[in-house]
Amino acid sequence: MFRRLVTDNSSRIIFLVLDGLGGIRNDEFPMTALEAASTPNLDALAASAACGRSLPISIGVTPGSGPAHFALFGYDPLAPENDAGRGVVEVTGVGFDLHDDDVAVRGNFATIDEHGILTDRRAGRIPHEEGIRICGKLSDNIREIDGVKILVMPVREYRFGLVLRGDGLSPEVNETDPQKTGLKPLRPEAMNPAAGKTADILDKFIKKATEVLADEPAARTTLLRGISKKPSIEPFNSRYGLNGAAIAAYPLYRGVARLCGMELIDTGFSPAEEFETVRSAWDGGHDFFFIHIKKTDSYGEDGNIEGKRKVIEEVDAALPILLGLKPDVIVVTGDHSTPCAMKAHSWHPVPFLIGSDTCGRDDVDSFSEAACDRGSLGVFPASSMMELILANAGRLKKYGA
Amino acid sequence: MFRRLVTDNSSRIIFLVLDGLGGIRNDEFPMTALEAASTPNLDALAASAACGRSLPISIGVTPGSGPAHFALFGYDPLAPENDAGRGVVEVTGVGFDLHDDDVAVRGNFATIDEHGILTDRRAGRIPHEEGIRICGKLSDNIREIDGVKILVMPVREYRFGLVLRGDGLSPEVNETDPQKTGLKPLRPEAMNPAAGKTADILDKFIKKATEVLADEPAARTTLLRGISKKPSIEPFNSRYGLNGAAIAAYPLYRGVARLCGMELIDTGFSPAEEFETVRSAWDGGHDFFFIHIKKTDSYGEDGNIEGKRKVIEEVDAALPILLGLKPDVIVVTGDHSTPCAMKAHSWHPVPFLIGSDTCGRDDVDSFSEAACDRGSLGVFPASSMMELILANAGRLKKYGA
């Protein structure tokens, strides 16, 4: 509905996403990382902002990173047309230009023993340079299977992308990762007869790759996940009348932003480097800057509350770089919660703040889960966030006379 | 769903709407009008009530008065069948009995210079008596165009209603108000071929009216807006098993209430006069009393926080008139926010309280935006309000055994 209310102006919006920002308290962790962190700048911002808790998908649902980000960008994360598979997102994120009929796969290098039993699902987290070398080896040795082109590309460390290009391909094939060690990798199975050819090619790929990698110490086979085709997502820019830029260092988030049609801007990894990238790009014609901070999630997944706290403090310390740009609207939130107490993504609503001349400051005067519980925005669906952002930017007309 | 749960009893409900009640804080206005106002009666009521924030249409969406009121009465404000045009609402509000095939228009008298350039979109806000005189002049001189009956009626001050009655009419004609001075009024344009006849009649009406008004100092032409036909709205009374009365002084709100099938009761303008009207009507067979206070919105639109504060204080001072009636349910809220800080309607959720024997009093002990943020009802859609009211009135049965 709100689509026909969208109007244009010269406002600029900063949308800062700390991946997995939210946490929970329990006996072991009486404070969340956000509560434990010293965040004078975020607290001051919260005091002049409107706060609340954003619900990524729906109550009780733990989101993956892809759906969580689609929701942040205002796309219904449950609509099939917005369901971009992980394979598509990863290869897009490393800049690969997918064709409509390609099948994209997210791969892990993994270690198996002499009986083919999985002993490490991430091949000892080999360094990125090793991943690049091994991808090169696969590319050199596997160029085509049954008339279908095989494209292998490094993503990060033990993760790679695989693209099949040819006729009659289908993404309806099961993943091969058994999700724990001590088991053999699964065979790729077609979910329906039309996917038989694709399942067969993936099976041959795994066998050939395992032959090619036989002399590797760790990366001895591949696990295939997220087998998918490119979805037809309505472009972010035309949807909102914005010119979006994505400042994100990690492939998946670059991929989601690219699939939505945002321009990717190269950046360093630290919060300060990312914010400096925004400063450099500030007058370059963009009016929406999506900034993605990854490490809050990574430390959350490790249960490393000290690490997560420090990343949040780095963000806080660098925040004046963004505030100095005097954005018309600034949002700070996460895509989902990754509580250290759970070492995993979770369903808990995510702290959210929005600052603008018209935000309507509430009584919240610090930025944390419990403080945001007392905000004026309540618990609201993440997929409504863009409407609120556009309203704060003066970019939504009145509905009805 | 809740419709089949509706049941009848002898309870009586007061539904008090302060138009544009909500406000926001910013540097210029560190307190909202509701915070600044001294409201001992509303605060005491809040202390014994359940509180929350009502969301008029959806997150980020700024409502017009029509959709906002339809939502308050429990109609989906986004459903096309509930989309009553402003023309329909205004002529209904002055008591005109629209036929199904009539086209209704909201008109403004406006000033143009000798070149036809608009110099005042509201004809210097001429007084109501002048509006009546000028409408009479138009009625005397323009009775029919191309076989279609032309009915002109005064609404308020510079605003009038125009009804076309005849065959083959369509509301699909663009408005003629260019929304700013220094431009010529637009021509009424048909949005499709079927509306050609109506556009042509409206064009002839404007030309004739401009001739008739040539000797007027201010009201020299007409601007036509909200060209519309009567929607088929399910009657409020049968929908809820209630017998509703509307105590509202301004045409638009009378119009919306009338379109929903409520009985209009004539009233004075001040809060105390409106509440006395309720007292007089209390034992007249109605069990739902919609009371509309306009001036909170008007002062909000002017950015006049002193004015808005005083109207709220007048409401508070007169509240014992309503409380003395011992209604089974009393609701105090607004249709939307009109922050003085924005001088316009806004999307911000609206303070809400509901008092009844079964409301479930929460910890809120004063009536303001920030206090309601801490209420038990959270942020909830305005269109769910009627269900909550019926429940508090004991008029909703249990769902399932």
Average pLDDT over chain B, rounded to an integer = 95
Q: Which residue of B has its CA nearest to A395?
A: B60
For residues A251 and A275, membership in a common domain is answered with yes
For residues A99 and A75, membership in a common domain is answered with no
Q: Which residue of A has its CA nearest to B65?
A: A401
pLDDT of residue A58: 95
Interchain CB distance below 8 Å, A401 and B226: yes
Interchain CB distance below 8 Å, B83 and A400: yes
For residues A55 and A115, membership in a common domain is answered with no
Mean pLDDT of B331-356: 98
Mean pLDDT of B21-29: 96
Q: Which domain holds residue A207?
A: 88-228
Written as one string, the DSSP assignment of A261-278 is: TPEEE---SSHHHHHHHH
For residue A64, give the 3-state DSSP assignment.
coil
Pairing of strands A329-333, A13-18: parallel
User: Any chain B CB within 8 A of the CB of A3?
Assistant: no
Q: Who among A360, A374, A399 is closest to B63 (CB)?
A: A399
For residues B35 and B96, membership in a common domain is answered with no
Q: DSSP label at B335?
A: S
Question: B378 CB contacts (<8 Å, ≥6 apart)?
Answer: A378, A379, B52, B53
pLDDT of residue A2: 76
H/E stretch holding B20 reads none
pLDDT of residue A291: 98
Distances A98 to A42, A88, A162, A163, A225 between C-alpha atoms, Å: 39, 8, 11, 8, 17
Interchain CB distance below 8 Å, B66 and A357: no
For residue B308, give the 3-state DSSP assignment.
helix
For residues A192 and A98, membership in a common domain is answered with yes
* pLDDT tens-digit series, residues B144-198: 999 999 999 999 899 999 999 999 999 999 999 998 899 999 999 999 999 999 9
- How many CB pairs lie under 8 A apart between chains A and B? 102
Mutate to test the interface with A, among B175, B343, B373 (most CBs of A within 10 A): B373
Interchain CB distance below 8 Å, B60 and A379: no
For residues B254 and B113, membership in a common domain is answered with no
Sheet bearing B329-333, strands edge to edge: B263-265, B244-248, B288-293, B13-18, B329-333, B350-355, B50-55, B379-381
To the nearest whole Å, the CA of A374 is away from the closest chain B CA by 6
Residue located via tokens 């260019």 = B178
Which stretch of A124-128, B84-88, B283-287 has the lowest confidence by average pLDDT? Answer: B84-88
Q: Which residue of B has its CA nearest to A401?
A: B64
Asked if residue A397 belongs to a domain, the reply is: no
User: Any chain B CB within 8 A of the CB of A379?
Assistant: yes
Asked if residue A309 belongs to a domain, the reply is: yes
Q: Who among A358, A362, A387 is closest to B373 (CB)?
A: A362
Neighbours of B291 (CB within 10 A): 25
pLDDT of residue A1: 65
Last residue of one domain, picked from the residues B173, B197, B228 = B228
Instruction: Indicate which CATH number applies to the domain containing B202.
Output: 3.30.70
Q: What are the beta bridge partners of residue B148?
A: B145
For residues A13 and A156, membership in a common domain is answered with no
Within 8 A of A362 by CB-CB distance, chain B residues are 369-370, 373
Within 8 A of B349 by CB-CB distance, chain A residues are 376, 378
Q: Which residue of A has its CA nearest to B22?
A: A360
pLDDT of residue B1: 65
For residues B381 and B238, membership in a common domain is answered with yes
Share of chain B above pLDDT 70, in %: 100
Within 8 A of A3 by CB-CB distance, chain B residues are none
pLDDT of residue A107: 96
Q: Who among B24, B57, B68 is closest to A360 (CB)?
A: B24
H/E stretch holding A35 reads helix A33-36
To the nearest whole Å, the CA of B128 is away from the closest chain A CA by 22
B14, B322 in Cβ contact below 8 A?
yes
With a cut of 80, say whether residue B401 has pLDDT above it. no
A334, A21 in Cβ contact below 8 A?
yes
Give pLDDT tens digits along chain A (401 positions).
Answer: 678 899 999 999 999 999 999 999 999 999 999 999 999 999 999 999 999 999 999 999 999 988 999 999 999 988 888 878 889 988 988 889 899 999 999 999 999 999 999 999 999 889 999 999 999 999 999 999 999 999 999 998 999 999 999 999 999 999 999 999 999 999 999 999 999 999 999 999 999 999 999 999 999 999 999 999 998 899 999 999 999 999 999 888 999 999 999 999 999 999 999 999 999 999 999 999 999 999 999 999 999 999 999 999 999 999 999 999 999 999 999 999 999 999 999 999 999 999 999 999 999 999 999 999 999 999 999 999 999 999 999 999 999 86
Question: B211 CB contacts (<8 Å, ≥6 apart)?
Answer: none
pLDDT of residue B273: 98
Within 8 A of B57 by CB-CB distance, chain A residues are 399
Pairing of strands A50-55, A379-381: parallel
To the nearest whole Å, the CA of B333 is away from the closest chain A CA by 16
* pLDDT tens-digit series, residues A247-256: 999 888 999 9
Within 8 A of B64 by CB-CB distance, chain A residues are 398-401
ipTM: 0.86
Instruction: Indicate which CATH number applies to the domain containing A382.
Output: 3.40.720.10
Written as one string, the DSSP assignment of B294-306 is: -HHHHHHHHT-HH
Q: How far apart are CA A181 and CA A177, in angstroms?
A: 10
Last residue of one domain, picked from the residues B228, B244, B265 = B228
Written as one string, the DSSP assignment of B74-105 is: T--TTSGGG---HHHHHHHHTT----TT-EEE
For residues A309 and A165, membership in a common domain is answered with no
User: Any chain A CB within 8 A of the CB of B161?
Assistant: no
Asked if residue B331 belongs to a domain, the reply is: yes
Q: Which residue of A has its CA nearest to B374?
A: A374
* pLDDT tens-digit series, residues B221-261: 999 999 999 988 999 999 999 999 999 998 889 999 999 99
Q: Which residue of A has its CA nearest to B24?
A: A360
Asked if residue B399 belongs to a domain, the reply is: no
CA neighbor of B255 nearest in space, from B93, B96, B99: B93
User: Any chain A CB within 8 A of the CB of B60?
Assistant: yes
Q: How far apart are CA B244 and CA B266, in angstroms?
A: 14
Written as one string, the DSSP assignment of A209-276 is: HHHHTTT-SS--EEEEEEEE----PPPHHHHHT--EEEEE-SHHHHHHHHHTTPEEE---SSHHHHHH
Neighbours of A143 (CB within 10 A): 11
Mutate to test the interface with A, among B58, B89, B108 (most CBs of A within 10 A): B58
Q: Who among B66, B77, B78 is closest to A401 (CB)?
A: B66
H/E stretch holding B173 reads none
Q: How far apart are CA B198 and CA A47, in angstroms?
A: 54
For residues B170 and B245, membership in a common domain is answered with no
Within 8 A of A396 by CB-CB distance, chain B residues are 60-62, 347
Asked if residue A293 belongs to a domain, the reply is: yes
User: Any chain A CB within 8 A of the CB of B276?
Assistant: no
Q: How far apart are CA A360 and CA B341, in angstroms?
A: 9
Q: Into how many domains does chain B fold?
A: 2
User: Any chain A CB within 8 A of the CB of B336?
Assistant: no
pLDDT of residue B93: 83
Q: C-alpha angle with apex A347: A344 to A348, nearest 5 degrees?
A: 100
To the nearest whole Å, the CA of A386 is away from the closest chain B CA by 8
Asked if residue A400 belongs to a domain, the reply is: no
* pLDDT tens-digit series, residues B328-337: 999 999 999 9
Asked if residue B400 belongs to a domain, the reply is: no
Asked if residue B206 belongs to a domain, the reply is: yes
In Å, how far from its chain's centre is CA B232? 18
Last residue of one domain, picked from the residues A174, A196, A228 = A228
To the nearest whole Å, the CA of A258 is away from the closest chain B CA by 26
Within 8 A of A71 by CB-CB distance, chain B residues are none
For residues A379 and A242, membership in a common domain is answered with yes
For residues A109 and A189, membership in a common domain is answered with yes
List phi, psi (to 5°) of B59.
-55, 130
Q: What is the pLDDT confidence band of residue B95, given thresholds at 50, 70 and 90?
A: confident
Neighbours of B106 (CB within 10 A): 27
